[in-house]
Amino acid sequence: MPTYDFVCNACNQRFDVFMTFSEYGKKAVHCTHCNSENVRRRMTKVRIAKSEESRMESMAENFSGFESLEEDPKALGEMMRKMGNTMGEDLPPEFDEVVDRLESGQSAEEIESALPDLGNAISTDDD
């Protein structure tokens, strides 16, 4: 059954209601916090699942002209953040720190000198 999000106009609390498609619009909805009928539907973000191939194609289209970003750390940081969000994968905290620094205007060289161990995060026991 789909979940529908609501907000109570009486107590301003958010709540979810499970109901079938056929029940929606016909079944009375009451606030789960104060039992008021004075509620409104809350519109939420819609997520669309994309294949790996379509995500990569979308990234390629969005990030053409990458060469010129080398001289513009803020634009490079914005591009990296978009790429990270588009990939839909959990990225390490270091990624966010580097992107934050780029977006604040720090150059790649400044970031490398401030975070010297960043490139050596992976080590082996054989060393």
Per residue in 84-93, pLDDT tens? 776 667 777 7
pLDDT, tens digit (0-9, with 9 covering 90-100), for 31-86? 999 999 999 998 876 666 667 777 677 666 666 656 666 678 888 888 788 777 76
Residues 6+ away with beta carbon under 8 Å from 24: 2, 4
The single-letter code of the amino acid at 42 is R
Q: Is position 57 within any domain? A: yes
| pLDDT at residue 41 in the model | 92
What counts of helices (H) and strands (E) characterise the chain? 4, 3
Number of domains in the chain: 2
Q: Indicate if 59 and 88 belong to the same structural domain.
A: yes
Q: Is position 83 within any domain? A: yes
Q: Is position 125 within any domain? A: no
Percent with pLDDT over 90 in the chain: 24
Helix residue ranges, H only, 1-127: 52-62, 73-87, 93-103, 108-114
CATH code, domain carrying 7: 2.20.28
Q: Is position 21 within any domain? A: yes
| pLDDT tier, 125 (very low <50, low <70, confident <90, very high otherwise) | very low
Res 24 pLDDT > 70: yes
What residue has token string 């588009």? 86
Q: Indicate if 57 and 97 belong to the same structural domain.
A: yes
Q: Is position 124 within any domain? A: no
How are strands ordered across the β-sheet holding 3-8? 14-18, 3-8, 39-41
DSSP state of 40: E
Q: Indicate if 82 and 107 belong to the same structural domain.
A: yes
Q: Is position 56 within any domain? A: yes
Q: Indicate if 64 and 17 belong to the same structural domain.
A: no
The three state secondary structure string of 5-69 is: EEEECCCCCEEEEECCCCCCCCCCCCCCCCCCCCEEECCCCCCCCCCHHHHHHHHHHHCCCHHHH
Question: Domain containing 15: what range?
Answer: 3-41
Q: Is position 47 within any domain? A: no
Q: Is position 102 within any domain? A: yes
